Chains A and B, each alone.
Chain A
């Protein structure tokens, strides 16, 4: 069972109380953008083997969206953080590097 701590209400929730929202920090393209950019925003996903930054919603709790850093190969969780950011905070990046010094970094 995947367990994540909601950074808003502090509840440590099982995955059955949460809803996954896919890749985080996507750059949004709307009307007026090129077909290529629009397609990339809507459909293309990094889907990495390894460190993944993703969105989650605390559906059976406070209802808020938040972000998590997780490893798709080992299922370890590096931490969760507020959704009010364009990229992962330093503390999260450091938590990843601490466990995986070889990690190529946030792209």
Chain B
């Protein structure tokens, strides 16, 4: 793989950009791999990357029914933060956030990580108490956050109306080192690095069945034929229940649609991410100048990758109330993704009832931020056959044992 650099740009400019090579190969599947990963979203690709980098396992195929990064990884609003309440969450999200800081260098691919700061508004007394509690918990976890005053909120975001008639801003949970990154670039950067390690990324190939013998996985059936493997890792987000069904078990999960939209591009007017959970909306500004807006999930099972219109209306109403200057903006695009929501709003990482078959899902409305940390923890789980310290608490067994990682407050709105 030829490295990307300022020098490479100059070299290619001098020869009319004829010399760029393809970022990743598109091979035919082999008969058998050590590890087959289903789903080339951020989590699947990051798992493959760390299997190679941390454990030297490179006889790996990543099988994707559509195009890589075309699932939720390419549909999200790219918020990266680690100010969760529970210890296991803070550990894995903070690991991920810190890996984002060096991701562009590690992958030699500019993922445009922008630690611009994320602000979660407190607009009711219970939210104030909740976020103060989170700030204290974060202090104990070693995650730097602070609860800031309405005046400080106004200084950071001058376009915000902090004296709204319904829900005046009473403060905010502020994580200065949180931010955003370019979602496609995260998938593309990992894909390029995985392909460089000799892994096979097989796109437009759907897994249609899971093969097993004596309670142990032996391979998968796909639209390109049978592919055998020693170990299988499923990282298919909203399709997790469907894959589990093929493997013969059920998950504590439901799939629902979550939507986002972007406005026409305007001059820079907001340089942090603002989340307003009470009124249900969040917003940031992309480098192109579009306001990136996310809203709520539909209240019913859905696999159609589009959501109900009334959610768009609710979200826009909430944001116009919070940022009056956007009231005349036109919205350019709207889309949906199918998110995998668990009972305690925390992900599942670990073993399954089927031997040598591992699962990583349930990131729901908030798993872009966790991609590198999740891949790190999942690679360890797959390589060793047992979850390590980061993944340990997230096993399926927590539902039998009642050991929930309750983040339902933190995930009250999509993020």
Alpha-carbon distance between A23 and B241 when the two chains are bound, in angstroms = 14
Is there an interface contact between B241 and A45, defined as CB atoms closer than 8 Å? Answer: yes
List residues of chain A with CB within 8 A of the CB of B83: none
Contacting A43 at CB < 8 Å: which of B239, B241, B300, B399?
A: B399
List residues of chain B with CB within 8 A of the CB of A45: 241, 250-254
Alpha-carbon distance between A52 and B304 when the two chains are bound, in angstroms = 14
List residues of chain A with CB within 8 A of the CB of B303: 49, 72-73
- Could you tell me the distance in whole angstroms from the C-beta of B39 to the nearest C-beta in chain A? 15
**Counting chain B CB atoms within 10 Å of each CB, which of A44, A47, A74 scores highest?**
A47
**Interface size counted on chain B using CB atoms at 8 A:** 22
Is there an interface contact between B304 and A35, defined as CB atoms closer than 8 Å? Answer: no
Contacting A16 at CB < 8 Å: which of B310, B399, B400?
A: B310
Is there an interface contact between B300 and A1, defined as CB atoms closer than 8 Å? Answer: no
Contacting B302 at CB < 8 Å: which of A36, A40, A46, A72?
A: A72
Is there an interface contact between A44 and B299, defined as CB atoms closer than 8 Å? Answer: no
List residues of chain B with CB within 8 A of the CB of A88: none
Is there an interface contact between A1 and B253, defined as CB atoms closer than 8 Å? Answer: no
Contacting A47 at CB < 8 Å: which of B251, B308, B400?
A: B251
Contacting B252 at CB < 8 Å: which of A16, A36, A43?
A: A43
Is there an interface contact between A42 and B343, defined as CB atoms closer than 8 Å? Answer: yes
Which residues of chain A in 32-69 are interfacial with respect to chain B, using CB atoms and an 8 Å cutoff? 35-36, 39-40, 42-49, 52, 54
Contacting B304 at CB < 8 Å: which of A1, A43, A73?
A: A73
Chain A facing B: main interface SS: mixed
- Could you tell me the distance in whole angstroms from the C-beta of A66 to the nearest C-beta in chain B? 14
Contacting B253 at CB < 8 Å: which of A35, A47, A75?
A: A47
Interface string of A63-104 (1 = CB under 8 A from B): 000000010111100000000000000000000000000000
List residues of chain A with CB within 8 A of the CB of B252: 39, 43-45
List residues of chain B with CB within 8 A of the CB of A22: 254, 301
Contacting B400 at CB < 8 Å: which of A39, A48, A54, A73?
A: A39
Interface string of B222-261 (1 = CB under 8 A from A): 0000000000000000010110010000111111000000
List residues of chain A with CB within 8 A of the CB of B343: 42-43
Alpha-carbon distance between A45 and B308 when the two chains are bound, in angstroms = 23
Cβ of A20 < 8 Å from any Cβ of B?
A: yes
Is there an interface contact between A47 and B302, defined as CB atoms closer than 8 Å? Answer: no
Is there an interface contact between A1 and B308, defined as CB atoms closer than 8 Å? Answer: yes
- Could you tell me the distance in whole angstroms from the C-beta of B405 to the nearest C-beta in chain A? 14
List residues of chain A with CB within 8 A of the CB of B20: none
- Could you tell me the distance in whole angstroms from the C-beta of A52 to the nearest C-beta in chain B? 6
Alpha-carbon distance between A23 and B256 when the two chains are bound, in angstroms = 13
List residues of chain A with CB within 8 A of the CB of B245: 48
Known contacts A2-B308, A15-B308; decide if A39 and B399 are in contact (CB<8 Å).
Answer: yes
Cβ of A25 < 8 Å from any Cβ of B?
A: no
A residues within 8 Å of B by Cβ? Answer: 1-2, 15-16, 19-20, 22-23, 35-36, 39-40, 42-49, 52, 54, 70, 72-75
B residues within 8 Å of A by Cβ? Answer: 239, 241-242, 245, 250-255, 299-304, 308-310, 343, 399-400
Beyond known contacts A45-B253, A75-B304: 6 more, CB 8 A cutoff: A1-B310, A35-B400, A45-B241, A46-B250, A47-B241, A54-B300
